[in-house]
Amino acid sequence: MTDAIVIGGGFAGVEAAWQLARAGFSVTLYEMKPVKFSPAHKMEGLAEPVCSNSFKALRLESAAGLLKEEMTSLGSLCVPCAKECAVPAGGALAVDREKFSALITKKLAAEPLIQLVRREVAEIPKSGVVIIAAGPLCADALAEDIKRLCGGGLSFYDAAAPIITAESLDMEHCFAASRYDRGDGEDYINCPLNKEEYEAFHSALVTAERAQTHEFDVYEGCMPIEVLAGRGADAIRFGPMKPVGLRDPRTGKRPWAVLQLRKENAQGSLLNLVGFQTNLKFAEQRRVFGLIPALRNAEFVRYGVMHRNSYIDSPRLLNADYSLRGRGDLFFAGQISGVEGYMESAGSGLLAGLNAARRLLGKQVYIPPRTTMLGALAHYISDESVGNFQPMGANFGLLPPLERQIRGKRERYAGLAARALEELRQSIALAT
């Protein structure tokens, strides 16, 4: 008989199962692939990155970097695996998707306390320790059962960016460089546009034909490029196409606008259009993105797509340990719990798994201090005072301010990170 059940083999599910196994408990991990795939998933492996292969910044004075450092301190599975499968991405941690998923799958398969069962789960088990990490694309039957349990649900649409082949680029119209010369100088390929080229591209983008969607909100963090462009002539030039920190070696000047391409795999044969999540029809993607000089002959291996995401009303339903109010042995983790992002999902799974294990051991729950990124996210998703609840990723705005005022943003963030790691260390020592 298994000690705990984890439903979903994404980032949250694998971290939850890993934490339970590390504590000595047997886990049954249910994953519906390859029996059934969601509209966005393609690989059979666990923890498949879908929308992007980037897990955001590594530097400690960034919210994303602090989150990963905290997760490492608590024995994360995903962070070290990501570093092992990293591809160059300037100051960010980006991975070869296939290698990352394969490595996670291999590690869980080698863990004797984890039994991986490949089938769809249609109902929430009525008793026992259960972690629902079904992801934002939860299968319909389970989603209906969650709605019945939670008194309804919330949905929104999420978009993914296209991927092209590197050999199809017009290299006469692009250059390799990382913003502000971070990384090794070749982590990104930059596709510059002058003012006239940008205006033609922008005009085509905002008038292009879009694929049909149903009536759902679009989450701000994954806003399609065409929707963002519709907010104003310079909206994307100050967003994903911002030229700051870059200089075109052909002109010696900063371009008017820039599309950045990031490696999708270790070989660099596939490239992701950074920040170009889209819901344009496939033919329109070829036509409109082809107006960017470097992409005139681009070969698309995956077009941008848009798909439904779902999450529960966590502030009304969950405790800060990710357990359901009124049923302490049932946990939610991942984007369905209201965190946003790969590592945020993994971090929520880590805490859910850790606290599920503590419940089985008869110990008090462990919630990291509010001054940590993990603790701040846990507080956010369980804070009943939050109105108009929306998914949230790691950001320093979630943390209480420092006691002493620091004017410089970089120095202030470094101070917040130092405080977080010290208080996390102390809290771990007290919890063991």
Spatial strand order in the sheet of 92-95: 54-57, 92-95, 86-87
DSSP 309-364: EEE--HHHHB-TTSEETTEEEEEE-SGGGTB-SHHHHHHHHHHHHHHHHHHHHTPP
pLDDT per residue over 162-185, tens digit each? 989 898 999 999 999 988 877 656
DSSP string, 238-265: TTTT--TT--BTTTTB--SEEEEEEESS
Domains of the chain: 4-155+311-431 (3.50.50.60), 163-304 (2.40.30)
pLDDT for position 330: 98
How many degrees, rounded to 5, is the angle at CA 420 between CA 415 and CA 422? 95
Residue 429 neighbours by CB distance under 10 Å = 8
* Interval 333-337 mean pLDDT: 95
Q: Minimal CA–CA distance to 156: which of 270, 286, 313? A: 313
Give per-residue pLDDT as tens, 274-305: 999 999 999 999 999 999 999 999 999 788 87
Residue 402's closest CA among 392, 411, 389? 411
End-to-end CA distance of the chain: 27
Evaluate the CA torsion angle 91, 19, 316, 147 in order and state its sign. positive
Give me the pLDDT at residue 157, please: 64
Q: Which of 326, 370, 379 is nearest to 348 (CA)?
A: 379
Nearest to 93 by CA among 114, 50, 62, 135: 62
Angle (CA) 169 171 176, round 5°: 105
- Label residue 99 by pLDDT band (50, 70, 90): very high
Min mean pLDDT across 27-41, 60-74, 110-124, 372-386 is at: 27-41
Q: Indicate the pTM of the whole model.
A: 0.76
| Four-point Cα dihedral 84, 425, 56, 233, nearest 10 | 180
Span 79-108, average pLDDT? 95
What are the pLDDT digits (tens) for 191-232? 999 999 999 999 999 999 998 765 445 555 568 999 999 999
Question: CA-CA distances (angstroms) from residue 293 to 191, 229, 241, 288?
Answer: 7, 19, 14, 11
Q: What does each C-alpha distance from 426 to 71, 416, 419, 423 come to in angstroms?
A: 15, 16, 11, 5
- The pLDDT assigned to 329 comes to 97
Cis before 34? omega within 30:
yes
Q: Is the pLDDT of residue 154 over 80?
A: no
State the helix-helix crossing angle for 409-431 and 63-73, rounded to 10 degrees: 20
Q: What is the pLDDT of residue 221?
A: 57
Average pLDDT over residues 314-333: 96
Cα dist. 86→79, 99, 172, 177, 270 in Å?
10, 9, 28, 18, 14
Q: Does residue 86 surpass a pLDDT of 80? A: yes
Q: What's the CA gap between 220 and 341, in Å, rounded?
A: 12
Residue type, position 139, single letter: A
Q: What is the pLDDT of residues 381-398, one digit of tens each?
A: 999 987 667 778 898 888
Confidence of residue 39 (pLDDT cuts 50, 70, 90): low
Residues of the chain above pLDDT 70, percent: 94
Work out the burial of residue 34: count CB atoms within 10 Å of its CB; fewer than 13 is exposed, 13-18 middle, 19 or more buried: exposed
CA–CA distance, 286 with 161 (Å, rounded to integer): 13
Mean pLDDT computed over every residue of the chain: 91
